[in-house]
Amino acid sequence: MDFHDTPEEAAFRAELRAWLSEHWAGRPLEGGRGDFDALRRWGGELYEAGYVGLTWPSEYGGRGLSPTYQAIYLEEMSRANAPGHPGVIGLNMAGPTIIAWGTPEQKKRYLRPLLDGSEIWCQGFSEPGSGSDLASGRTSAVLDGDHWVVNGQKVWSSYAHKADFCILVVRTDPSAAKHAGLSYLIVDMHAPGVTVRPLVQITGDPEFNEIFFDDVRVPRSSILGSPGDGWKVAMTTLLHERGTLGFALSAELERMVNQLIKLVKEPGPDGRRPADDPVIRDAVAREWIEMQSLRFTNYRSLTTLLETGIPGPEGSGVKLAWSEANQRLTSLAQSLFGLTGLVSDEAPWNGFWQYWQLRSRGNTIEAGTSEILRNIIAERVLGLPKGR
């Protein structure tokens, strides 16, 4: 792959860099997820400027650009230390699935407010007791006239407490083989019978949630595909999630590495810079090298995507490496100032590193546990025999 920008890509990068310099530079660096309403307004700014849905077809509100432009967008956002669009599940999962499987009416209704951030989406796949086995889900939907009546529970649903809609996998035919008995619905999160119970993490944020469905009536027209197509539709969703995940994660790691470099150059309470210690410089260099290795792995994956239209297997390896690198990096940053870094009112950067070190503990669980990812890499990339 040619790692240099084409003239058109270089112009896009310069345009985006200038826009971020005008609209984001100088905003304060904060720990936590901040004001979600402010993030939603920021998503609207990104949309109005033309930086949301870059690879979507123009007829659906996108710009119809190559995935390379999405990679440039993520790189420049990380370098500007700017947050992304808050509707990440809608943009990367629900939207592409609606484009692939939705009716004209569904596309008209859902895609525009998904892009501009006025409506937020969540994902209803995982269930208690099902682990990573999506096909073993038991949340049911029974047809009653013009409505599906949904009952069951989902868990680990990011942003469900803020979401307006949910992409939901349900069992509509209990007599069919488990993969064949699933269907895929769009559910209004404000409908009667939907209850969201936030799961407060060690950071204090209710980022993940449980969702309970008690006789929730969902219009029959809210199905994507046909009854029994749920597994195929869900694979479309997961394919798009993996297709964009690698660059998003490496961009996030680059942002954190840049912040770590900034941190080690700052004097501590004793007046000494952590960067003056050669052991710390070696540790920081390791994280920089890890970040670069992820970037080039993603470029290899991007080459496969451009040639075949299908993401390669590198996404699983990138997610595994990123999760462990981010835990290591945030732990290193947290340790630089000893016990001072553990005390909220004295911690560097107003608790920024304290927050992200705690948040990183979930990295090896979310979006596929490290154990599951190692199995995927062993079996589907290296061709090793299954462990069971």
Annotated catalytic sites, by residue? Answer: 241
Neighbours of 232 (CB within 10 A): 16
Contact 125, 154 (CB under 8 A): yes
Tokens of 381: 């990339």
What is the three-class DSSP state of 385? Answer: coil
Report how far Cα 276 is from the mean position of its chain's Cα atoms: 36
d(CA 156, CA 100): 25
d(CA 298, CA 288): 16
Single-letter code of the amino acid located at 179: H
Tokens of 348: 């560097």
Contact 94, 184 (CB under 8 A): no
> Strand pairing of 121-124 and 165-171?
parallel
Q: What is the b/e burial string over 152-166, where b = at least 16 CB atoms within 10 angstroms of the residue's CB? A: bbbbbbbbbbbbbbb
- Total residues found in the chain within this entry: 388
Contact 140, 174 (CB under 8 A): yes
d(CA 83, CA 33): 9
For the CA atoms of the chain, what is the radius of gyration? Answer: 22
> What are the start-end ranges of the H helices in the chain?
7-23, 36-48, 67-79, 88-89, 95-101, 104-115, 230-264, 278-308, 314-335, 352-359, 370-376
- Provide the Cα torsion 150, 151, 153, 154; round to 10°: -10
d(CA 227, CA 183): 5
d(CA 343, CA 272): 20
d(CA 165, CA 106): 13
